[in-house]
Amino acid sequence: MIERYTLPEMGRVFSDAHKYELWCRVETLVLEAHADAGTVPADAVEPVRAAPPPTPERVAEIEEVTHHDVIAFLTAWADNTEPRDAAAWVHFGMTSSDLLDTALAAQLVEATDILLDKADRLVATLREHALKHRQTLRVGRTHGIHGEPDVWGHRMADFAFGMARSRDRLRRAREAVGVMAISGPVGTYSNIDPAVESHVAEQLGLRPADVSTQVVLRDGISEWVSALAITAGVCEAIALEVRHGQRTEVRELWEPFGSGQKGSSAMPHKKNPIMSERICGMARNVRAQIVPVMEGIALWHERDISHSSTERISLPDAAIATDYLLNLTTRLVSGLVVDVDRMRANLNATNGLIYSSTVVSELIETGMSREDVYALVQAAAMRTWETATPFRETLRAEAVERGVTLDEDRLDEVCRPERFVARLDPVFDRLKALA
């Protein structure tokens, strides 16, 4: 992922320098386990533990010759080990995938913990915003067309619960991806004791794979990327709502617009929803990683490395982009400007047509057939669409023409937008309990 969208903490997790730190950690733990079992000389452990990780530049230099990243790493690290003879015992009994998959699991768990912390913050921000606007009336829309009265807090509550579910998926995905293996060539423990694997897993807080065929099957990593993609999708849903709300014809919502910010190089009046548009665009990048990673589940026999090149791109990109999205979406929601008066004006923009469903239910309760009620109300609604005459007037005229008596006081009551607020109390009670 390019630097523009890489936040420092997550960027550090996927840096080459940190990768080699993890590789050193894994190799040292394996060496410790061997030494405890008497498999390797005990005096080899301390020099290896004390050796600083090799620099990415040095590993890259050696890899130009070896064309093998693990061998290049081991050679560069051996150069940092004093006495160098101790390095001979590093990687004893292991194969490359033991190191790569175990360190990758630790790396993905670290990344997930960062994402979980930011998801928690976004859930809290959405929850607070929704509760603040639990009585802010607005029109609910379907197909982009005004439907019925709603409240803005109700819409945001949906996003809060959606992000909470996404966070919970991430927690489950953390378990799915925190799986390691140190089982040697072909995964049969031919050159390494399973006790070594257990020791390393315990020290790293990971779980040994139930079975490893030299590589850990990529179903868990695929689950993790899918969880990230869903999280990004919820961020996009929030951003898309804001983009619609900031349209000139709607003008109900505004992104935070800082002092000195410019909206357009040509049109000084512009205040564009650039944060929301960026969120929608970045979410595509996260979703795009699902298929390449899933295709790494199927490998030739016990192992090939067709997944390797894909994961070097897809896993960091998915994590870094999701991290950026969670951060940016939290900024968007926390600074969101809600135009309450404009929402109320838009609520009344259709001259009362948004109460047609309520009127249908009310008239059916008087004993009329649904077919007759629907015909009456639709005819009145079409008159309002065509003439901009208030819906109550066209409804009254249609009723007179059809010989139907309307209870005007009752209709006044059911067509009050405020009555829709109390109906949503159970939603906000659940929202208050959302952690």
Q: What DSSP string describes 112-161?
A: HHHHHHHHHHHHHHHHHHHHHTTT-EEEEEETTEEEEEEEHHHHHHHHHH
Confidence of residue 270 (pLDDT cuts 50, 70, 90): low
Average pLDDT over the chain, rounded to whole? 94
pLDDT in tens, 335-359: 999 999 999 999 999 999 999 988 9
Q: Is the pLDDT of residue 265 over 70?
A: no
pTM above 0.85, yes or no: yes
How many CB atoms sit inside 10 A of residue 128's CB?
A: 15
Omega cis (within 30) before 390: no
How many Å apart are CA 145 and CA 139, to the nearest integer? 9
Q: Please tell me what DSSP assigns to residue 265.
A: S
**Per-residue pLDDT, 422:** 85
Q: How far is CA 207 from CA 179, 201, 303, 389, in A?
A: 5, 6, 20, 69
Just list the catalytic residues.
143, 264
Assigned architecture for domain 95-344 = Up-down Bundle (1.20)
CATH assignment, 1-92: 1.10.275.10
**Cα 277 to the chain's mean position, in Å?**
16
Q: Which two tokens stand for residue 194?
A: 């399973």
At 201, is the secondary structure helix, strand, or coil?
helix
Q: What is the mean pLDDT of residues 171-188?
A: 96
Q: Residue 306: pLDDT above 60?
A: yes
